[in-house]
Every structure is written in C-alpha cells, then in structure tokens.
C-alpha cells in the first residue's frame, strides 16, 4: 500500500447526479493532486493543492469541484457530468509540490473508476 | 507546454530477456524524469527516477539513462520476470509531471 486511499473504488452515476470522490493520505505530505486517466491518453493533471491552497487548475470544467479541508484529505465533487468524463480518477500526494529546482516523489492511490451513464 | 512521447505502446518479451522503453520530451527546462509502473487495479507506483544532473541511474534490474542534449531518456529492465508485466509510464517535469501515454509490457514465461 502507498499510504494514499481513495473511496469509492468504483462509481456509476447518471448525468444529473451529484457525487463526491474522497482521498486520504497518511504520509504527512503537504501537496495533493487529482489526475484523470483515460484509455490511450496520458495522465492529465487536474488540480494541485499545497498546504490546503489550490495552486493549479488545469482548465478543468466547473462540473468538477475540488475541496481540500486539510493537508490529509482531498475531495472531488462531481455534478452534471458527461459520458466522456468516464475515466479512472487518481489522487496523489507528495512531500511538497514540484518547484523547479526540487522534485518530490508522488505517491498515487488506487483510483476511483467512474462511469457516467 | 511540455510534450512527452513514449515508445513502444506495447512490448512483449520472453522471461529473462531485456526490455527497453524510450521517451522524448520537448521542454529543455525539464529537470526531473520519473518512471512509474501501474499494475491492474492499482495506481502508478514510482520505480526509479533521475534528475538532470545525472546521466544514468541503476537499481538492481532497472536502469534509466538520460540524454539531455537529445532530450530523451530510457528505461532498461534486465532479466525480466512475469511479475514485471504491467503498464509503464515515463514523465518529465519542471513544475508538474507530464506523462507519456504508457507502454504495456508483457513478459511471457
């Protein structure tokens, strides 16, 4: 186990539903990330939080809404999703965020397999 | 932004043979190059990384080489075993990880 847990592991939701994905890290890290993994595409960085503050939003549609109440927990709130949003959503954490001259190993959770019907 | 190309997309080798996966990147400022292994039903796991001030790094059966001039880096796995079968991702980073599309490695007994 990597020390990063995600729930639920699988989620099926309709386009009008509202659901949330949860991520928790037990590593004492300061930075947390949401990634989207679709078949035949590179992992796409969605959001970055460092010390609970959002430091990056990679032009993600507003139907995805992140929340980071503390350095150990990260949520992704979902509403009115589209079928093309079906993917594996991965959470990761690192000691601190990448900062040019330094680099920190990112630890990934197992992901939530999301299917939008 | 950074663009990372990874080849091949699939690779099949016999147990005991070597496997090589290659990546190229576009941003010469990138200075951190990790490799991740993803098994079915799991998230990516870091297996080795290299920084721009180093040309080669080894960890048992795994090695990574970096050519900054040519902007490419490679993963070498020697004496492959069936448990090496997985999807491998390269990434290049300065402020964020930019991933390749992955290589599905199959090691047959």
Cα(B83)–Cα(B37) distance, rounded to whole angstroms? 11
What number of other Cβ atoms are within 10 A of residue B15's Cβ?
13
Task: Give A37's strand partners.
Answer: A88
Average pLDDT for A36-41: 90
Average pLDDT, stretch B23-45? 94
Per-residue pLDDT tens for B52-98? 888 999 999 999 999 999 999 999 999 999 999 999 999 998 888 99
**What is the Cα–Cα distance from B79 to B3, expressed in whole angstroms?**
31
**Partner-chain contact B32 A98, CB within 8 Å:** yes
Distance CA B88, CA B57 (A): 17
At residue A55, the pLDDT reads: 80
A98 touches chain B (CB under 8 A): yes
Mean of pLDDT values over B21-31: 95
Residue-level pLDDT at A100: 57
Distance CA B63, CA B6 (A): 17
Q: Are A49 and A68 in contact (CB under 8 A)?
A: yes
What is the nearest CA distance from A16 to chain B, expressed in angstroms? 27
In the predicted structure, residue A2 carries a pLDDT above the cut 80: no
Q: Contact B100/B6 with Cβ under 8 angstroms? A: yes
Nearest residue, CB atoms, A43 vs list B31, B32, B99: B99
pLDDT of residue A62: 93
Judge whether residue B106 has pLDDT over 80: yes
- Mean pLDDT for all residues in chain B: 95
Mean pLDDT of A64-73: 94
In terms of Cα–Cα distance, which of A32, A35, A25 is closest to A2? A25
B99 touching chain A per CB within 8 A? yes
Exposed (0-12), middle (13-18) or buried (19+): which is B109, by Cβ within 10 Å?
exposed
Q: Bridge-partner residues for B32, per DSSP?
A: B51, B93
Whether the predicted pLDDT of B31 surpasses 80 = yes
Nearest CA in chain A to B40: A110
Structure confidence at residue A66 (pLDDT) = 95
User: Are B43 and A105 in contact (CB < 8 Å)?
Assistant: no
């Amino acid at each position: 186990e990597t020390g990063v847990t995600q729930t639920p592991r699988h989620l099926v939701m309709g386009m009008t539903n509202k659901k949330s994905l949860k991520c928790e890290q037990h590593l004492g890290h300061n930075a947390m990330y949401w990634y989207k993994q679709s078949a035949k595409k590179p992992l796409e960085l969605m959001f970055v939080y460092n010390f609970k503050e959002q430091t990056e939003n990679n032009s993600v549609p507003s139907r995805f809404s992140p929340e980071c109440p503390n350095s150990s927990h990260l949520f992704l709130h979902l509403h009115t999703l589209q079928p093309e949003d079906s993917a594996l959503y991965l959470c990761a954490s690192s000691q601190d965020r990448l900062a040019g001259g330094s680099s920190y190993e990112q630890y990934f959770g197992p992901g939530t397999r999301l299917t939008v019907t | 932004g950074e663009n990372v190309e990874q080849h091949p997309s699939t690779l099949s080798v016999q147990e005991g043979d070597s496997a090589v996966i290659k990546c190229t990147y576009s941003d010469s400022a990138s200075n951190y190059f990790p490799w991740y292994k993803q098994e079915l039903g799991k998230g990516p796991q870091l297996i080795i990384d290299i920084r721009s001030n180093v040309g080669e790094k080894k960890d048992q059966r795994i090695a990574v080489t970096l050519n900054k001039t040519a902007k490419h880096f490679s993963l070498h796995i020697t004496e492959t075993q069936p448990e090496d079968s997985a999807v491998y991702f390269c990434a290049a980073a300065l402020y964020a990880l930019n991933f390749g599309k992955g290589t599905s490695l199959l090691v047959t007994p």
